[in-house]
Amino acid sequence: MILQNSDNKITNSDKISAHLSALAQKLNISAVILVNSAGQIISSYTSSSWNFNTLSIAVLSSSTYAAANEMAKLISERGNFLTVLHEGTNYNILTSAVSSSYFLVVVFPKTTTLGLVRIFTKKTVENLYPVLQAENSNVRQQQNELDEHFQNLLSDELDRVFNGL
């Protein structure tokens, strides 16, 4: 299912959210987090029982995934590792590359079958790839809004927040 805005326009963000929630709801998954290579959260879906720090998991996943890919280079792998799996006693974390700049972090309980998570995560990754490609060109247009006026307002706001520190 693809979500729509009130004006019936489907944005790329809507499409991404829909793909993440579809994956989470298909299986018993605690959190699905789409992260870029800088460790920034693009979008996330968390179950109602989720009470962990999503930002910290995104930042750590980004770094451990990057570290795994440096190891791939050291053993002459062609390209990056496609997935990285952390197995725990209560939860597993599966990290899968969407592209060179994005990856998907799936946190799920041990009671959820790993094989199914792998299959459906792979499908979600395939669905996300074209959406992220389209999203990249839109973001470039928005970045052009960082004009001098914006920069002056930002400077004033930093002065306000950092004042006296």
Q: Is 162 in the site for other proteins (CB under 8 A)?
A: yes
Q: How far is the CB of 112 from other proteins (least distance, A)?
A: 27
Helix count (H) and strand count (E) of the chain?
4, 5
3-state secondary structure of 61: helix
- 80 is a site residue for other proteins (CB under 8 A): no
State which of residues 11, 47, 99, 127 lies at the interface with other proteins (CB under 8 A). Answer: 11
Nearest approach in angstroms of CB 61 to other proteins is: 12
Phi, then psi, of 133 in degrees rounded to 5:
-60, -45
Q: Which residues bind other proteins (CB under 8 A)?
A: 11-14, 17, 36-43, 53, 55-56, 59-60, 62-63, 66-67, 70, 135, 138-140, 142-147, 149-151, 153-155, 157-162, 165
